A and B are shown apart, each in its own frame.
Chain A
Amino acid sequence: MSAENPERRAFLGKASALAAGLAIAPGVLLFGFAHGRPAGEAASGKVRWGMLVDTNQCGNGCNDCVTACNKENGLSGGTKATDSQWIRKVELKNMKGGRNLSLPVMCQHCEHPPCVDVCPTGASFRRADGIVLVDKHRCIGCRYCMMACPYKARSFVHEPLADQKPDVPRGKGTVESCTLCVHRVDRGEQPACVEACAKAGRGAILFGDLNDPESEISKRIRTVASAQIRADLMLNPGIRYEGI
């Protein structure tokens, strides 16, 4: 093909040496490129994970985030009262103006979560980085948290399950909800719904660290109008919506 370009070769050589220098061992990098923590490190209170959903980009009838969530977490995808649903697509219509609105509603990962307040066993808890989770080892299935949640975000597992995902243990008799894909976040990846939304060409969900003023999500929250659902409850959810 073309004659070799010595300058390009030299550049590639340096670039690969730099890349090799950053990697301490295969799979272990000197610093995380996407906020991934080292395996032995606890979740930090300096970080607060959150999402910004742009309802102008979110499409009526598009269900990709829900499908991706079901696939990632091993949910059946059923919508009966007894089926687990971690995300619901909510369709709204303004009767006066006629504007249609579509938005995904999942666990809002509140700063002051009512589900944690009411849990009698300490199973429902908020991790240092703001992710609200159920410790199923402690959950007795009383479902107080389901009553307390103003967003109807939690589900109860009624039937015995089989073939759960290795990263997402789920079991009969416990309450569960959106984990913000905590297993992916800990690896430095984005939640499955965010990835699916971007893949569908909408990019309506932005995920990031609300505490980092330089993060994309913080910059956007500073520059465009966004709101929390039921902000009047003063729960300070980590999920925010644009255009509602």
Chain B
Amino acid sequence: MEHCYYHLIYGDKLLSVPIRVDPWLTNSMMKTFLFVLLLAATPAWAGDSIAPKLDIGKGGQCVEDPKLMRKTHMDILRHQRDETMRLGIRDPRHSLAGCIDCHASTKNNSVLGGSENFCQGCHVYAGVKIDCFECHSSKRKTVAEATK
């Protein structure tokens, strides 16, 4: 038996996977297996023709790399949420209100409403429920303040 490493590219990360190669597993079998693994590991975004067409609102330069945001925005938001709530650190860069301010639709000033809206569009596509807006306002702050 021998050890070898196969390199997988998952999103923008390089994974080195140690594999124990049994004598009965031929090289061609291994290659087929890894190809299937690679297909499964490819993010849904890559070259997907049915990916949601989103209205990104004002858009412009995001506070982080968009690729990173797609994968980790929930962690960034959760981290910021605890910092703001418990410690009172109000960093406008990673605040939910900041996201909404840039990404609320130019049509209804909200990140919710339809399949084009920034949060709802992608979350419906991914089949992930968003809890944020049961309590938080989904509207751009300036507009929400004006329509008091």
Give the B-binding residues of A (Cβ under 8 A).
37, 39-43, 71, 125, 127-129, 133, 135-137, 160-161, 163-167, 169-172, 174, 182, 186
Give every chain B residue within 8 A of A169 (Cβ-Cβ): 135-137
Asked whether, in the complex, the Cβ of A136 is within 8 Å of the Cβ of B137, the reply is: no
The majority secondary structure among interface residues of chain B is helix
- Return the contact of B88 from the options A43, A161, A164, A174 (Cβ within 8 A): A43
* Complex interface residues of chain B between 113 and 148 (CB less than 8 A to chain A): 134-137, 139, 141, 144-145, 148
A35 to B135, CA, bound (A): 29
Give every chain A residue within 8 A of B136 (Cβ-Cβ): 164, 166, 169
Asked whether, in the complex, the Cβ of B137 is within 8 Å of the Cβ of A42, the reply is: no
B90 CB within 8 Å of chain A? yes
Closest residue to A122 on the B side, CB-wise?
B86
A133 to B100, CA, bound (A): 24
What is the CB-to-nearest-CB distance from B96 to chain A, in angstroms, rounded to a whole number?
A: 9
Question: Can you report 30 residue pairs joining A to B where beta carbons are below 8 Å apart?
Answer: A37-B88, A39-B90, A40-B91, A42-B88, A42-B89, A71-B148, A125-B86, A127-B86, A127-B88, A137-B81, A137-B85, A160-B134, A161-B135, A163-B137, A163-B144, A164-B136, A164-B137, A165-B137, A166-B97, A166-B100, A166-B136, A166-B137, A166-B139, A166-B141, A166-B144, A167-B141, A169-B135, A174-B135, A186-B88, A186-B90
Given contacts A171-B135, A172-B134, contact A39 B91 (CB under 8 A): yes
Asked whether, in the complex, the Cβ of A164 is within 8 Å of the Cβ of B89, the reply is: no
A166 to B91, CA, bound (A): 15
Give every chain B residue within 8 A of A186 (Cβ-Cβ): 88, 90
Closest residue to A127 on the B side, CB-wise?
B88
B29 CB within 8 Å of chain A? no
* Complex interface residues of chain B between 71 and 97 (CB less than 8 A to chain A): 81-83, 85-92, 97
What is the CB-to-nearest-CB distance from B134 to chain A, in angstroms, rounded to a whole number?
A: 5
- Return the contact of B135 from the options A39, A43, A71, A170 (Cβ within 8 A): A170
A136 to B81, CA, bound (A): 11
A37 to B136, CA, bound (A): 23
A26 to B91, CA, bound (A): 17
